[in-house]
Structure 1
């Protein structure tokens, strides 16, 4: 016998039985959903710009496409599981050993392995909030508890409050510098003061996904911090400055023994050969990369200055994006930008993150900001 949809009683019974038997972890009930930046609405007669995902607007660096194409001919083969050549190249670039490098699917993939390695049920992970949206997801999936410490009114880490939030249950602390989505860095002096208060057995991850864009002379220098503190791990990526967001390559820098443990937690063959070759090719043309980064930093300065001139209270971003703390006006601003062919990243009730794009996108965003200010005043 079938119902009006052609489903037999047996099929319906099997579905009900499967739903009744299958059980998932209780922790999944508290896992937030990651919301990626969406593409812009197509507006007639104008070029649309995606300013919502902190992507690099430039095409791949010279030689990268050729390296990927050559590697694609071997896609029927598994990649080197240890990403040996890439680890050696990254280590040489940073002045560390390959044994200190852990690669993965973007810095997020590596961080997920770190959280899984460090945390069990009911452990605590301390981090600033608002910060990178993936942090609470990774923590919840591990069964640990998030301890979110509010950023200051200037969008900066409140490291004194974070130090005070560390308890005997704390296993991991994440410091995002520059902070995503607000933009400010953690200074060298305040980070040293903070680390002096962190127990030696608590792991501290310094997330430097946007480190190439930093120009603040007082900013903490990750490698110096890492060399001075055995419990510090650096987290970096090829997704942002290097423009390889679509290939997912990131890495951590950790003491050799810790790095070996972390590599055992990363999904096998996480970095494809195409991604590894693209990263290697990008590293080989670092001068061209730095020229592009310099152009984006200059455009960031123009965007910041323009918004400040319009009266917006914009934090001093050291990344490839800026933050507008618009509170209750957040969604309205995002809709106004979208109507002009610009997608931005709204965080409802808090603010809007705007990625640095082409100069034309900056000009149009400033026009939107001016019109929005006039309408709200």
Structure 2
């Protein structure tokens, strides 16, 4: 066993074991997350845990161009910002150059926004890349990761593929994280606690003050990774980042992305904020920022300055979400109140059949089984797309 661990570490350090070597593959339904191949049940659905699985159709989803409303990947239909597009276009001519100086400039800009030092920032091509790198590096010698179930699976799947075990703690009845249960689950082999807030696929939040107290206390024992990909969609009165804990010396890692509110999912820019010692540990094996293109760096910087676009993006997302609520109310259907760019709601139909029927209507969505009950997760598109979704859903559930 010890020889296996050493070989794994040597392969990673030599660059021979990449994300591809860990059997990462695109999700067949064109989702937002590359994943390690999960276990499947006898129906071919993806089994994430005894409580949580994803329904998968027998055939891959239609390509985006074949869908009237592509609402299965939590993409922002309103972006990128016009200023970001202009910056991308203007800088593309220098795409023959490496962009290290420009990347450092972006890191300085992000650090100023977050109120930390630039040495606390590590860049990556999207936040999922950084989640996965953390999962690889921290679990070279095994150990376990504690997280909620269900939650975003990117870090968990890579950690398991690297050699970790997953200690899953079911969400509470209100869909918030069971922080007490998670703290009790920590043992001598725990290498990381992972929290997605707002959570995916539920769209729910855990109280900011309670989470801050938890992170402050628990990070003295084990690193805590807080994934804040959807933070910018939250109302200002409940929006609370854990970045403030960095200047208090706490061993936390906070992930942010340009894929959501900035509408740059295809341009691939994200970052984590962490203590320098943690980032040094990650970058001994993997290089932060190496996968970001020259024009994407300029686009990200320009998007940060386009506050009017960011505010409009949030407003339009909220309007689409309210439309979904109203449509579900009119159909007599329940839903989980969301603080993100997607809504989860229970369905009576079997998941595969539901996906097939929605796809036949030209609408791409996702379907999960959580604690034995079927759910649909619909991403927020344009208002036109949401109206197409509502019309299709009404036909399917009748």
TM-score of the superposition, structure 2-length normalised?
Answer: 0.78
Match of 2:166, SS state, is strand
How far, CA to CA, are the matches of 2:70 and 2:380 in structure 1? 10
Q: Is residue 213 of structure 1 aligned with residue 216 of structure 2? A: no
Structure 1 217/308 Cα, relative in aligned 2: closer, same or farther at 3 Å? farther
How far, CA to CA, are the matches of 2:394 and 2:119 in structure 1? 51
Any idea what the Cα deviations from partners look like across 1:295-337, whole Å, max 9, x if unmatched? 2122212212322442322111101000123376322322222
Residues 1-377 of structure 1: matches in 2 within 5 Å?
35=27, 36-37=30-31, 38-39=61-62, 48-80=68-100, 83-195=103-215, 198=218, 200-215=220-235, 217-218=237-238, 220-228=240-248, 230-267=250-287, 269-326=290-347, 329-347=350-368, 350-374=374-398
Q: CA deviation at 1:70?
A: 2.6
Match of 1:346, SS state, is strand
Structure 1 249/265 Cα, relative in aligned 2: closer, same or farther at 3 Å? farther
Structure 1 34/216 Cα, relative in aligned 2: closer, same or farther at 3 Å? farther
Structure 1 265/187 Cα, relative in aligned 2: closer, same or farther at 3 Å? farther
Any idea what the Cα deviations from partners look like across 1:30-68, whole Å, max 9, x if unmatched? 96855233456877xxx7110000001014212222222
Please list every run of 5 or more consecutive structure 1 residues that lacks an aligned counterpart in the other structure. Answer: 1-23
Match of 1:83, SS state, is helix
Partner of 2:45: none
Please list every run of 5 or more consecutive structure 2 residues that lacks an aligned counterpart in the other structure. Answer: 1-15, 32-60
How far, CA to CA, are the matches of 1:134 and 1:312 in structure 2? 30
TM-score of the superposition, structure 1-length normalised?
Answer: 0.82
Match of 1:73, SS state, is helix
Q: CA deviation at 1:293?
A: 1.5
Any idea what the Cα deviations from partners look like across 1:51-94, whole Å, max 9, x if unmatched? 00000101421222222223222222222178201101111222
Q: CA deviation at 1:173?
A: 0.7
Match of 2:350, SS state, is helix
Q: CA deviation at 1:227?
A: 4.3
Structure 1 123/308 Cα, relative in aligned 2: closer, same or farther at 3 Å? farther
Contact residue 187 and residue 219 of structure 1 kept, 8 A: no
